[in-house]
Amino acid sequence: MKLRGAEILLQCLQMEGVDTIFGYPGGAVLPIYDALYNSDIRHILVRHEQGAAHAADAYARVTGKVGVCLSTSGPGATNLVTGIATANMDSIPIICLTGQVGSFLIGRDAFQEADITGITLPITKHNYLIERTEDIEQVIREAFYIAQTNRPGPVVIDLPKDVMERVIDWEPHNQEVNIRGYRVMKGFNYGQVITAVDLIQKAQKPVIYAGGGVVSSNASEELLKLAESQKIPVTTTLMGIGGFPTTHYLSLGMLGMHGTRYANYAIGECDLLIAAGVRFDDRVTGKIETFAPHAKVIHIDIDAAEIGKNVAVDIPIVGDVGDVLEAINNRLNPVEERQEWLSIIDRWKEQYPLRYGNSAEGRIMPQHIIEKIYELTQGEAIITTEVGQNQMWAAQYYKFKQPRTFITSGGLGTMGFGLPAAVGAKMARPDMPVINVAGDGSIQMNIQELGTAVQYKLPIIICILNNQFLGMVRQWQSLFYGGRYSHTDISVQPDFVKLAEAYGAVGIRVKDTQEVDNALRQALQVNDRPVIIDFWVDREANVYPMVPPGGSLDNMLGGDC
């Protein structure tokens, strides 16, 4: 059949199971938007291309499928860069379709031309510039295959306008993808599994350290089985939150810079560390020389480059986390008891729970808001966050029961991620409440996506923890720079209630602790538009505990009284 390149593109996307694209039109992608006019693929019109990338990213995190975004050439494509880098750092599979000037104009500094394949080379798993209409199907199949297999990640496909306009005879081939030099990781070293099992059986004080790889490989059930059968406490990274139920008696919560004291103490005392789907990030390890000093380390990861990169490993196992944990579980006999080690941890939990005091100014404590959100949703919600104090408080005080319900920018720490991520999450799971925990600084980075949420009648809730500061930067200035608040006061800001109303959303302001519960209940009852709740919180509330940068995990500030 005779089809334009743009029509072939959309048919190929549908063959890959794509039902939703987040995008913003422009001249170079007009052929694609013309084809979308009659397509079954749902297109979500964002207000900025960065929002499209973040929404596609969140859609992928929530569903486990590949997220797709679309932009025009030049500035449209470069506006995706932060979102691409965010997905790359967190190993999220997204396909970024970028328009390009006609192939005969490439390299001539044409209007709205940018070398997006060159620009994004360091922040993608792979990228393509399609030069022939005949290559569209092969490239799409390869791109989705690469994005999803091994360690997931973003792929950029650059689409010259003339390639999209050209008409050719085309029939789908559905041939198997075979990329020279790219092999999907299958299996693992079973001998290493046997050695790991032997270490687990002999350990007296083991700890499981679980990361985002547990979530992306759908390994949560195998992780739970290992923890329960061997009675091993589990701590997670920021990206691993939800991979193990926070409500479980073996949960230590998050570890690292803003982790719980008992998680960090357990790392310091353990004799075996089972690291599953993690990369030993600096915010987790603190001072490398003092991280898990008494422990043998088993490291399971799909990416061989991560093993031994930051921390010396005794037993490296390269493979899919879920497959490896299943193999380990199949060889282990249940442990009758591990009471001595668990008693020590229980004592730490009792002595050092997460806690916070009252506001010096009589304002709302931000931690209280997160606790109320959990109380009203009972963990049956998707939480997206911006980046900073709001992110850490959400990670600490909301109890996550399921994977793919905590959607946050981990590795890159992208301010402005949370609101467009909430849009993507709600499109992915319209059946679940979606709540964006935000700071008054971060929310202004992509506040325009409120318009997207209004247009598509998405009842997402944006909880702004408004302290009129760039809160986390101010906290560092307070603790490490003598309290010199250099350019972190953002008290000149919009009236968020009026701003919500101007967009056609609901706006609520809360200044008193007694009003928190009612405001959240009111917001949860709205079903046809977004709600902004502007919580005026204690201006100088800090995130504790905190390990000073470069410090040891057992040297934590605050949170102990």
Residues tagged active-site: 49, 111-112, 161, 472
Smallest CA-to-CA distance from 47 within 15, 62, 25, 32 is with 25
- Residues 188-207 as b or e (16 or more Cβ within 10 Å = b): beeebbeebbebbeebebbb
Q: How far apart are CA 485 and CA 478, in angstroms?
A: 7
Q: What is the token pair recorded at 358?
A: 């009252």
CB 88 within 8 A of CB 125: yes
The tokens describing 512, both together, are 């008193």
Residues 6+ apart with CB under 8 A from 313: 275, 297, 298, 299, 307
Give just the sign of the alpha carbon dihedral 333, 334, 336, 341: positive
Looking at the DSSP assignment, which residues form a beta bridge with residue 43?
Answer: 21
Q: For residue 96, which phi and psi values (nearest 5 degrees)?
A: -110, 110
Place of tokens 């334009």: 4
Tokens 């990030």: give the residue: 281
Cα–Cα distance, 92 to 178 (Å, whole number): 22
Q: Which of 400, 464, 392 is CA-nearest to residue 432?
A: 400
Residue 213: which residues within 8 A CB-CB, separation 6 or more? 91, 219, 240, 276, 277, 278, 300, 301, 302, 321
Tokens for 139, please give them: 């490239």
C-alpha distances out from residue 309 to 188, 281, 394, Å: 19, 10, 29
